Structure formats: C-alpha cells, structure tokens
Amino acid sequence: MRLLFVLLLFTVSVKSQITTMHCGYDFMSYLVLDVHEDGKKENIKNLKITIVDSLGNDLININNLYSWNNSNKPMQFSLNYQIDEKGNKLTAENPKARWFFPYAKDNYLLSIANTFPADNFRLKVEDLNKKYKTQMVQLYAFNMYVLCASQSEKAVQFGKKQNRPIDIVLEKSK
C-alpha cells in the first residue's frame, strides 16, 4: 500500500512539473535594433545606444529592476555576436557558428525584464565617430521581444506586430 501511495505521489508530481514547464526566456524579453543608413541594410557599428528617461538621462538598472544583467549600470545595448557549439564567443570564422541571441542577426540588443515599462523611456543613439547625428527614439511595449508562449498570449494581438527589430535610420552629420 505504501508503495502504491509513493507511485501515485510521484506521478502527480511529474504531471504537475510537465504542465508548468518553463521557457528558457521566462521573466525576460529583448529589445532588438536595426540601425542603418537610409537605403542601406548593414547595421552601423560602434554606436553607443542607451535607454534614457524623458530628460535624456541614462536609465540606471538599479538592483536589477529593469534587467537581470548589469545591475546598477546604465541600460546600454551591445551587438549580437556569434558563438560556437559550446557557447563561447567567436573571434574567427566558424561554419558551425550561431547567433548568441538566435532571434536576431547582426543587430543591437538588450535583455530586459518582462515587466519593463517601455512606454516610459526612449533610446538615445549616438555615433562615437560623429559621422551620424544623435537620435532619440520613443520605445513602446510592442517593441519588446516576448519569447515565451505564456507571455506572448498576454501580449497585444492587434496593431504593430511584436518581435520585430526597431528600425532606426540614421542621418549623416553635416
């Protein structure tokens, strides 16, 4: 009888774990940017892209409030990069390479919490070489890459489609 009870308990436990299976991206989303010049498709390199408040001040990730990465640092984007089979960042060509964030290619990206209030902030895009003008871009909740099915079901199902890079066209400085 005791064995039957243990088997029943084990079966119920396994079933509950299967029905609450988690996604690898639970509790996080990404912002993905496609930053290019008008008429060109290549992303511009060496840009400083940060999330700023309404006054233009860098948003600081205080105690991981906005992202699970880089606590107490400004919310700054980085370029997606390729990794090898073991997950190590590549510095040379590799035929088995894949992108670190597989839902983007050669784009800028930033990991954020699913609760990130995107509508309250903007992007500040600066060219460190001063070839392009600095640009401010308003963020919206639909800009977030919501990757887990449970979160996507809660996302807006009308209007602009989600999980697309934010298209930013930079203008050359004079």
Is residue 140 included in any domain, yes or no?
yes
pLDDT of 29 strictly over 80: yes
Is residue 34 included in any domain, yes or no?
yes
Q: Are 72 and 143 in contact (CB under 8 A)?
A: no
pLDDT of residue 171: 94
pLDDT digits (tens, 9 = 90+) for 105-121: 889 999 999 899 999 99
pLDDT of residue 111: 93
Overall residue count recorded for the chain in this entry: 174
Is residue 100 included in any domain, yes or no?
yes
pLDDT of residue 125: 98
Average pLDDT, the chain: 82
In the block, tokens 């009870």 appear at 5
pLDDT of residue 16: 47
pLDDT of 79 strictly over 90: yes
Strands (DSSP E) found in the chain: 28-37, 47-52, 78-79, 82-83, 98-99, 108-113, 122-127, 135-138, 144-145, 166-170
| pLDDT (mean) for 54-69 | 95
pLDDT of residue 136: 97
Confidence of residue 40 (pLDDT cuts 50, 70, 90): very high
- Name the residue range of residue 155's domain: 25-170
User: Distance between CA atoms of 114 and 13, rounded to whole angstroms?
Assistant: 28
> How many separate domains does the chain show?
1
3-state secondary structure of 73: coil
pLDDT digits (tens, 9 = 90+) for 139-168: 998 898 876 754 444 444 444 556 789 999
Q: Are 29 and 114 in contact (CB under 8 A)?
A: yes
| pLDDT (mean) for 80-104 | 85
